[in-house]
């Protein structure tokens, strides 16, 4: 009953081709975003990696199947989901570190901006005072 | 390890006649109590300058502060208590002040105690002085959960630093220039400085001392500590203390003349080329 799902090649060729197409489209989309400078190289790497993993999983479906059994998951699609979730987690974590960094820089800029604005105000006031007293 | 072992020498004693002292007052919607607080600081310590860090208030905090003789640093959005205090420290460093007194705007901290808090710093006896409401006299009842939290983290700080801290959350402090510079860098939490900050100071070789002060119930405004946040606070503080201890080797050390060395990475960078030529 579970034969069409678990044996290699059980996944339909059509499905395989569809996933490969989506993977390649994703890859091209990300590369194009980087080319147009809407995505920085350093942040695109993880996405590119995800797209490549997705495509490779579709191409080498038999090996994925074997690997899945090797780690003790006897329902290969579950293994694919696990890989997908792990990739998403890695991406999310990456974003958390980026956000932490941005927050720190943001705080620093905010403080310096506040101080500089105060300096300008004080200097202006000092100049005005001087003008008043000839 | 003993914190005092790291101290190479005392900072140069600052005589109050020449020392330039800045009073840093972080304020968030404190128009009711700020004016009175500033007036009392002015009458207690007429020779000091005052800077109010307005942490994105929606009321007339800035106008009140200016009217009462303080320089106002306005933050374009809310940074939180620690972020506001650190702004004041950065201002002090930029203007070359010798010492900083940090006080809350809400009237909890009695300016009459400010001189006592500042004195050990000016005398060169301590780098950081914390005004403790438990060594002194608290004129109000502290909510039980809050008191419990203060006790717990105070105990932890005592265990790590071998020094008694009765009031680690106190925002009534005086700091020598070297400690101000240390905090103006990357070493100050953006939310609420607490036992973690004291442990960090102690590990970095600063001499921390407590003096008794009088604290009152808030005269106006809303307290920043709500019971809802208690769980978050305890978890965050435990993690924060753990991180301070884990980062121990990377903490810049206070050294001769009140200055301190750079971070461990910078030291490594500096020493690496000489090592290479030797080998």
Strand partners, B173: B102, B130
pLDDT value at A2 more than 70: no
Q: How far apart are CA A70 and CA B101, in angstroms?
A: 65
Q: How far apart are CA B48 and CA A51, in angstroms?
A: 62
> Closest-CA residue in chain B for A122?
B71
* Per-residue model confidence (pLDDT) at position B43: 94
Tell me, yes or no, if B61 comes closer than 8 A to chain A by beta carbon.
no
* Per-residue model confidence (pLDDT) at position B13: 52
* Per-residue model confidence (pLDDT) at position B256: 46
Strand partners, B176: B99
Output the average pLDDT for chain A: 89
Distance from CA of A118 to the nearest CA of B (A): 5
Interface test with B, best of A102, A109, A114, A122 (most B CBs within 10 A): A114
Contact B238, B159 (CB under 8 A): no
Distance from CA of A56 to the nearest CA of B (A): 40
Tell me, yes or no, if A99 comes closer than 8 A to chain B by beta carbon.
no
pLDDT value at B5 more than 80: no
pLDDT value at A94 more than 90: yes
Question: Judging by beta carbons within 10 Å of its beta carbon (0-12, 13-18, 19+), is residue B200 exposed, middle or buried?
Answer: buried
Give the number of other Cβ atoms within 10 Å of residue B189's Cβ: 21
pLDDT value at B136 more than 60: yes
Q: Which of residues 185-204 of B touch A (CB under 8 A)?
A: 190
> Closest-CA residue in chain A for B77?
A110
Domain of residue A80 covers 3-132
Q: Which segment of A64-78, B28-42, B257-271 scores lowest on mean pLDDT?
A: B257-271
Local confidence band at B252 (pLDDT 50, 70, 90 cut-offs): low
* Per-residue model confidence (pLDDT) at position B181: 95
Q: How far apart are CA B172 and CA B195, in angstroms?
A: 14
Local confidence band at B58 (pLDDT 50, 70, 90 cut-offs): very high
Rounded alpha-carbon distances, angstroms, from residue A90 to A28, A38, A49, A95, B219: 21, 21, 11, 9, 49
**DSSP 8-class letter at B106:** T
* Per-residue model confidence (pLDDT) at position A11: 55
Tell me, yes or no, if A114 comes closer than 8 A to chain B by beta carbon.
yes
Alpha-carbon A24 to chain mean position: 17
* Per-residue model confidence (pLDDT) at position B55: 96
Tell me, yes or no, if B78 comes closer than 8 A to chain A by beta carbon.
no
Determine whether the interchain pair B86/A112 forms a contact, defined as Cβ–Cβ distance below 8 Å: no
B91 contacts in A (CB within 8 Å)?
A: 115, 118
Contact A112, A68 (CB under 8 A): no
Higher pLDDT, B275 or A12: A12
pLDDT in tens, B70-95: 999 999 999 999 999 999 999 999 99
B73 contacts in A (CB within 8 Å)?
A: 114-115, 117-118
Domains of chain B, residue spans: 14-278
What percent of chain B lies above the pLDDT cut of 70? 75
Residues 6+ apart with CB under 8 A from B259: B178, B181
* Per-residue model confidence (pLDDT) at position B186: 82
Local confidence band at B64 (pLDDT 50, 70, 90 cut-offs): very high
Question: Judging by beta carbons within 10 Å of its beta carbon (0-12, 13-18, 19+), is residue B239 exposed, middle or buried?
Answer: exposed
Average pLDDT over residues A95-123: 95
Tell me, yes or no, if A118 comes closer than 8 A to chain B by beta carbon.
yes
Tell me, yes or no, if B77 comes closer than 8 A to chain A by beta carbon.
yes
* Per-residue model confidence (pLDDT) at position A110: 96
Of A110, A112, A122, the CB nearest to B71: A122
Of B51, B72, B83, the CB nearest to A107: B83
What percent of chain B lies above the pLDDT cut of 90? 53
What token pair was written down for B174?
């005086």
Contact B194, B153 (CB under 8 A): yes
* Per-residue model confidence (pLDDT) at position B144: 73
Tell me, yes or no, if B52 comes closer than 8 A to chain A by beta carbon.
no
pLDDT in tens, B154-203: 888 888 899 988 888 889 999 999 999 999 998 898 888 888 999 999 99
Tell me, yes or no, if A125 comes closer than 8 A to chain B by beta carbon.
no
CATH of domain B14-278: 3.90.550.10
* Per-residue model confidence (pLDDT) at position B273: 37
Distance from CA of B59 to the nearest CA of A (A): 17
Pairing type for strands B128-138 and B173-176 reads antiparallel
Distance from CA of B181 to the nearest CA of A (A): 15
Nearest residue to B26 via CA among B83, B104, B109: B104
> For chain A, what is the domain count?
1
Output the average pLDDT for chain B: 81
Residues A57-88, buried b or exposed e (16+ Cβ, 10 A)?
bbeebeebbeebeeeeeeebeebbeebeeebe
What token pair was written down for B13?
């004693």
pLDDT value at B32 more than 50: yes
Of B71, B72, B75, the CB nearest to A110: B75
* Per-residue model confidence (pLDDT) at position B226: 60
**DSSP 8-class letter at B4:** G
Q: Does residue A130 sit in helix, strand or coil?
A: helix
**DSSP 8-class letter at B223:** -
């Amino acid at each position: 009953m579970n034969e069409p799902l678990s044996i290699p090649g059980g996944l339909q060729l059509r499905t395989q081709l569809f996933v490969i197409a989506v993977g390649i489209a994703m890859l091209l989309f990300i590369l194009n975003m980087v080319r147009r400078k809407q995505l920085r190289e350093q942040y695109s790497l993880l996405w590119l990696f995800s797209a490549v993993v997705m495509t490779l999983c579709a191409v080498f479906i038999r090996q994925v199947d074997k690997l899945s059994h090797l780690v003790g998951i006897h329902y290969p699609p579950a293994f694919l989901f696990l890989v997908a979730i792990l990739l998403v987690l890695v991406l999310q974590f990456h974003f958390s570190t980026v956000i932490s960094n941005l927050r720190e820089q943001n705080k620093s800029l905010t403080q310096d901006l506040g101080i500089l604005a105060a300096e300008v105000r004080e200097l202006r006031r000092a100049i005005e005072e001087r003008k008043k007293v000839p | 390890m003993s914190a005092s072992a790291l101290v190479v020498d005392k900072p140069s004693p600052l005589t109050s006649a020449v020392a330039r002292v800045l009073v840093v007052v972080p304020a968030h919607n404190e128009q009711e109590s700020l004016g009175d607080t500033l007036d009392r600081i002015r009458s207690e310590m007429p020779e000091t300058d005052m800077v109010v860090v307005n942490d994105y208030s929606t009321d007339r905090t800035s106008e009140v502060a200016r009217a009462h003789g303080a320089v106002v640093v306005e933050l374009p959005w809310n940074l939180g208590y620690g972020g506001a205090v650190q702004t004041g420290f950065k201002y002090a460093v930029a203007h070359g002040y010798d010492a900083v007194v940090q006080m809350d705007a809400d009237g909890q901290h009695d300016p009459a105690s400010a001189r006592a808090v500042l004195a050990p710093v000016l005398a060169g006896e301590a780098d950081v002085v914390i005004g403790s409401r438990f060594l002194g006299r608290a004129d109000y009842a502290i909510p039980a959960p809050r008191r419990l939290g203060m006790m717990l983290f105070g105990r932890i700080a005592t265990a790590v630093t071998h020094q008694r801290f009765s009031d680690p959350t106190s925002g009534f402090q005086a700091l020598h220039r070297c400690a101000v510079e240390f905090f103006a860098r990357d070493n100050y939490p953006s939310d609420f400085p607490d036992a973690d900050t004291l442990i960090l100071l102690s590990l970095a070789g600063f001499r921390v001392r407590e003096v008794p002060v009088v604290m009152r119930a808030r005269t106006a405004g809303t307290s920043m500590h709500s019971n809802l946040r208690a769980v978050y606070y305890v978890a965050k503080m435990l993690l924060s203390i753990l991180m301070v201890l884990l980062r121990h080797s990377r903490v810049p050390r206070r050294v001769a003349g009140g200055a301190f060395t750079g971070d461990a990475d910078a030291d490594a960078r500096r020493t690496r080329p000489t090592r290479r030529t030797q080998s």
